[in-house]
């Protein structure tokens, strides 16, 4: 499947910056003080460049909330059992979660994707995509979370989701995630990709106390150590397979597929931003495709804001707990 991924990467092209002057001239000619709309103007210009100088089209937008479970949950890194992942998938489908309200407010389509939740399948639902690669990952504190084949399947699933959206006329994608304990693999990925210390970036996630956060740091350190071969290789796919999750890899593929298709990708949250980091490491050109309107809140990190350290800032990472 490496060849399929390579074909996707080969189709990702840098933006044509020669169009910038024309787009900026239009913005400056509007009846308003120049630059008065701030980030909104930057995003509008980026959308203009992504869509190759055509009149910017933001609608329809589609959000994919991708779910997967994690073997590292066995290490006590979350207050909640894995069963909550399944419960939340059903909650999304019943319209009872915050993302349902946000999507409805923005008039965005919302699809839930089961890439790797524990247990069997679900009853059919028009907004549920059942593409389970495995019923959760292995425990990253004891070895690789995924095989390379599983990781590549998840990446290509994400690419296929972007393609499906494009076929339906969708020009803007949004990311979402669900997976108990997935702040642990996300933090491990930040550490591996950006050379960060787990003690500086590990947070309480779903509400761990200080002692539990210390134990979580130790779990991440053990994961980095036992998977040192992958981390030291510098191969971003190997690192993602060793430390990531099925939903994280799928979202990384969604970012790659969106760049291939010239779709703007709005990246939301700590886990989705870890997926963006993986996509960026796999193909640095994708940094031109997510809208870059903010960074993880410094209050959510014990060290400096992550995307401000070496990583281009994606759109709207609102700093979900880790």
Instruction: Classify the C-alpha dihedral 223-276-120-69 as positive or negative.
Output: positive
Residue 150 lies in a domain: yes
Mark whether 93 and 142 lie in a shared domain: yes
Burial environment of residue 19 by CB neighbours within 10 A (0 to 12, 13 to 18, 19 or more): middle
Q: Is residue 222 part of a domain?
A: yes
What b-and-e string marks burial along 70-94, b requiring 16 or more CB atoms within 10 Å of the CB?
bbbbebebbeeebebbbebbebbbe
What is the Cα–Cα distance from 144 to 129, expressed in whole angstroms? 26
Answer whether residue 314 is part of any domain.
Answer: no
The total number of structural domains that make up the chain:
2
Query: Are 153 and 93 in a shared domain?
Result: yes
Regarding whether 171 and 36 lie in a shared domain, the answer is no
Does any domain span residue 316?
Answer: no
- Which conformational region is residue 245 in: left (phi greater than 0), alpha (psi within -120 to 50 degrees), or beta? beta
Domain shared by 74 and 139, yes or no: yes
Whole-Å CA distances, 75 to 55, 70, 92:
51, 10, 27
- Same domain membership, residue 70 and residue 33: no
Same domain, 145 and 21: no
Give me 16's structure tokens: 């044509």
Are 20 and 106 within one domain?
Answer: no
32 shares its domain with 70? no
Q: Are residues 72 and 218 in the same domain?
A: yes
Q: Does residue 177 sit in helix, strand or coil?
A: strand
* Structural domain includes residue 252: yes
pLDDT by residue, tens only, the chain of 322 residues: 789 999 999 999 999 999 999 999 999 999 999 999 998 899 899 999 999 999 888 999 999 999 999 999 999 999 999 999 999 999 999 999 999 999 999 999 999 999 999 999 999 999 999 999 999 999 999 999 999 999 999 999 999 999 999 999 999 999 999 999 999 999 999 999 999 999 999 999 888 999 999 999 999 999 999 999 999 999 999 999 999 999 999 999 999 999 999 999 999 889 999 999 999 999 999 988 875 443 443 334 443 345 445 566 544 332 333 4
Same structural domain, 117 and 177 = yes
* Domain of 131, in residue numbers: 61-308
Pair of tokens at residue 310: 């070496």
177 and 229 both lie in a single domain: yes
In this structure, are residues 290 and 267 in contact, taking their beta carbons and an 8 Å threshold? yes
CATH number at residue 74: 3.40.50.10210
Domain assignment present for 8: yes
Output the pTM of the full model. 0.91
Please classify residue 124 by burial: count the beta carbons closer than 10 Å to its beta carbon, then call 0-12 exposed, 13-18 middle and 19+ buried. exposed
Whether residues 124 and 183 share a domain: the answer is yes
């Amino acid at each position: 499947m490496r060849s399929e991924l390579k074909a996707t990467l080969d189709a990702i092209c840098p933006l044509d910056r020669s169009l910038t002057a024309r787009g900026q001239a239009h913005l400056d000619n509007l009846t308003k003080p120049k630059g008065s709309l701030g980030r909104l103007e930057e995003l509008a210009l980026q959308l203009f460049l992504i869509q190759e100088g055509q009149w910017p089209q933001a609608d329809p937008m589609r959000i994919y909330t991708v779910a997967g479970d994690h073997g590292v949950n066995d290490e006590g890194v979350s207050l909640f059992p894995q069963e909550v992942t399944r419960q939340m998938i059903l909650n999304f489908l019943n319209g009872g979660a915050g993302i349902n309200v946000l999507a409805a407010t923005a008039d965005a389509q919302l699809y839930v994707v089961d890439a790797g939740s524990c247990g069997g399948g679900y009853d059919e639902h028009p907004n549920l995509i059942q593409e389970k690669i495995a019923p959760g990952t292995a425990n990253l504190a004891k070895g690789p979370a995924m095989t390379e084949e599983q990781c590549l399947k998840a990446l290509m699933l994400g690419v296929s989701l972007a393609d499906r959206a494009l076929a339906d006329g969708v020009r803007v994608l949004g990311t979402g995630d669900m997976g108990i304990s997935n702040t642990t693999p996300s933090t491990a990925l930040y550490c591996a990709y950006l050379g960060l210390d787990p003690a500086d970036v590990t947070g309480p996630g779903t509400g761990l106390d200080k002692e539990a956060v210390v134990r979580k740091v130790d779990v991440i350190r053990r994961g980095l150590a036992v998977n040192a071969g992958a981390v030291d290789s510098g191969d971003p796919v190997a690192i993602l397979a060793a430390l990531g999750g099925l939903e994280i890899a799928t979202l990384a593929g969604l970012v790659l597929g969106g760049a291939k298709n010239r779709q703007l990708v709005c990246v939301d949250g700590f886990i989705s931003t870890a997926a963006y980091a993986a996509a960026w490491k796999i193909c640095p050109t994708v940094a031109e495709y997510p809208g870059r309107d903010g960074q993880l809140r410094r209050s959510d990190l014990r060290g400096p804001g992550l995307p401000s350290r070496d990583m281009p800032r994606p759109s709207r990472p609102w700093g979900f707990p880790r």
